[in-house]
Amino acid sequence: MTEKLNSQGGTARKTSRRSRPCVAIATVVALTWAGATAYYAYQTSPHLPMDISANDAGTREAFNAALREHTIAYMIIALLPLLVLLPLTSLVCTRRGGR
């Protein structure tokens, strides 16, 4: 392993840092995905039709179950890029050296 001498005659230590534009682009892409997914989830959320009684306990329970499943599914779809893309970006976009 070779190390370069700095201007004072000492050795410069090797550092690794992330490429800022690469991480910024990945963050913007992941947040855009999450925002678009949240908007689509809001637009397609379950609703009670007008011809069904909202006071029936079985109907309310079925509606709440559908709403819960919808929310969990779209939460996973929205957060998946954040959980996969950002750690992957930190591995791929790492520069070695002190430039």
pLDDT digits (tens, 9 = 90+) for 30-60: 889 999 999 999 999 998 887 778 788 888 8
Helix (DSSP H) and strand (DSSP E) numbers for the chain: 2, 2
Q: What is the pTM of this model?
A: 0.65
The domain segmentation of the chain, as residue ranges, is: 16-94
Among 71, 90, 81, CA closest to 33: 81
Taking each helix axis from N to C terminus, what angle separates 57-92 and 20-43, rounded to the nearest 10 degrees? 170
Look at residue 10 in the predicted model and tell me its pLDDT: 56
pLDDT band at 67; cut points 50, 70, 90: very high
Look at residue 11 in the predicted model and tell me its pLDDT: 54
Cβ contact 85:32 at 8 Å: no
CA distance 28 to 34: 10
Whose tokens are 């002190």? That residue is 98
Beta strands in 1-99, from DSSP E residues, in sequence order: 16-18, 94-96
